[in-house]
Amino acid sequence: MAAERIRARYLIETPVEPAAVAEVMAGEQSCGTFTRVEGETDALRERARATVEAITELAPAEAPSLPNALLERQGARGPWRRAHVDISFPVANIGANLSTLAATVSGNLYDLGEVTGLRLESLQVPAAYRAQFEMPCVGIAGTRRATGVASGALVGTIVKPNVGLSAAETAALVGRLCAAGVDFIKDDEVCADPAHAPLAERVPAVMAVVRAHQERTGKHVMVAFNITDETDAMKRHADLVEREGGSCVMASLNWCGLSGT
């Protein structure tokens, strides 16, 4: 793969010639659309269009995986051809922007009229592209140092009930879990900043218990507080966790988005 291109592999299912579908995919997710338009010059296409790198046809399916109203109206009967399609995208189209990367390699592809199934299976990015983003500041080694677990499994658990516990009740449960010897505790994804246990109350209450356990035993139990929220609120929540001596936060990527993390 050329250093300046990002490569994605897809699995497609279609009654149409796979090579034709691949070209539609490449155009749709770069400088083109379903037809050539004014301004889409040869020079622009050379610079910005995605390129079909490879097509590997697989065994056909006996029936379509998903319904497709357009193909049904056209009376498509199969065979339902399946293929791996490799497409490369110019890095210059995307920049250091994970949200645009996701839109580029996925985006409108899943509603293409030519397919009855389409899945992004792998993604390769050049090392130079990856280097534009910060690396993990702690990583596995740092996590082991923070929890005092030099080797072997890290034992973790999630606070349950998922929601409903007050800040004080959450702290009491965390105290029991610390005493039981767990290394890592995290909030459930549906418990972020609820009215019955807001982070402004929950973080200080829980961290008081964690600090007390550390003073008694010398062990720091890592607690991942769910700070998923609007971006500015997430920053405030993270600052609170840091002030209270916390070592971890969690964010639900599907809900706060790539730009929020």
User: What domains can be seen in the chain, in order of their start residue?
Assistant: 5-130 (3.30.70.150), 139-260 (3.20.20.110)
What are 68-105's pLDDT values in tens digits? 888 889 888 879 999 999 999 999 999 999 999 999 99
Spatial separation of the C-alpha atoms in residues 33 and 27, rounded to whole Å? 6
What are 12-68's pLDDT values in tens digits? 999 999 999 999 999 889 887 766 777 778 788 888 889 999 999 999 998 899 888
Spatial separation of the C-alpha atoms in residues 174 and 180, rounded to whole Å? 10
What are 111-122's pLDDT values in tens digits? 888 999 999 999
Q: Distance of alpha carbon 201 from its chain centroid, rounded?
A: 29
For 157, list phi and psi in degrees, rounded to 5: -155, 165
Mean pLDDT of the chain: 92
Spatial separation of the C-alpha atoms in residues 18 and 57, rounded to whole Å? 8
- Which residues lie below 8 Å from residue 142, measured CB to CB, with a gap of 6+? none
pLDDT, position 159: 96
Spatial separation of the C-alpha atoms in residues 29 and 49, rounded to whole Å? 8
- β-pairing, 80-90 with 117-124? unpaired
What are 182-212's pLDDT values in tens digits? 999 999 999 999 999 999 999 999 999 999 9
- Which residues lie below 8 Å from residue 35, measured CB to CB, with a gap of 6+? none
For residue 107, is pLDDT > 70?
Answer: yes
pLDDT, position 34: 66
pLDDT, position 2: 46
Mean pLDDT within 150-163 = 94
| Tokens describing residue 238 | 């993270």
Question: What angle (nearest 5°) sits at the alpha carbon of residue 139, between those of residues 137 and 142?
Answer: 90
For residue 229, is pLDDT > 70?
Answer: yes
What are 120-138's pLDDT values in tens digits? 999 999 999 999 998 888 8
Contact 250, 225 (CB under 8 A): yes
Spatial separation of the C-alpha atoms in residues 261 and 247, rounded to whole Å? 17
Label residue 1 by pLDDT band (50, 70, 90): very low
